[in-house]
Chain A
Amino acid sequence: GAVVSQHPSWVICKSGTSVKIECRSLDFQATTMFWYRQFPKQSLMLMATSNEGSKATYEQGVEKDKFLINHASLTLSTLTVTSAHPEDSSFYICSAVPTGSSQYGYTFGSGTRLTVV
């Protein structure tokens, strides 16, 4: 089945630094990937839609300059949390849809737990 690899699985960084999270589709191409954030005991909130070769589409209230998304290839999207602050500490999850498929079950990465100290 389709596999999405997300790396790192956890990261601790200091306030003010930037952190890059990778989302990679291992056995399929994904024109579109999605980035979610999840706070403890809460649901997943869609942050942005990542489109290969074009700018990401951000949801209302998500700062595009803070959460930089790059989808440079059909198998890799990256999310960079810039100038991280403790309130950015969260669980970040990506998902990918195979190119050309209709909207069946999406495949999710295993998530990245970010802790900003």
Chain B
Amino acid sequence: SQQGEEDPQALSIQEGENATMNCSYKTSINNLQWYRQNSGRGLVHLILIRSNEREKHSGRLRVTLDTSKKSSSLLITASRAADTASYFCATANQGGKLIFGQGTELSVKP
């Protein structure tokens, strides 16, 4: 399978709570990226973390990367109803191919 694993597959939280999504991958990488997809729409790039980085922040987003465990996590703090979407991690290898994880469907209830 070309895909890595993401968990949870679905996450439902209340507005204001934090949401944590995890991603594992299988091969060596140059970088790992997180994307957001609203239902039936294209993807929006959220954040990229390079293989030599361990943590990165962007606004309410915090991403960690553990290359020894081949895993990453995305934390969304102080979630809002507008954060409701599917979130995917994707890894880029030397050849430039972007391979996506299975995704986490996040539902933030007002």
Contacts and interface: CB of A to CB of B under 8 A. Distances in A.
A93 interface: yes
B103 A43 contact: yes
Contacts of B26: none
Nearest to A40: B40
Instruction: Name which of A45, A105, A113 has the most chain B CB atoms within 10 A of its CB.
Output: A105
Given A34-B98, A97-B96, A46 B42 contact: no
B92 A46 contact: no
A54 interface: no
A105 B33 contact: yes
Nearest to A49: B97
Given A103-B30, A105-B33, A113-B40, A43 B45 contact: no
11 contacts: A34-B98, A42-B103, A43-B3, A43-B102, A45-B2, A46-B98, A49-B97, A93-B43, A106-B33, A110-B41, A113-B40
Interface of B: 2-3, 30-31, 33, 35, 40-45, 48, 88, 92, 95-103, 105
Interface of A: 6, 32, 34, 36, 41-46, 49, 59, 91, 93, 95, 97, 103-111, 113
Which 6 interchain pairs have the tightest Cβ spacing?
Answer: A105-B45, A110-B42, A108-B43, A44-B100, A108-B42, A103-B92
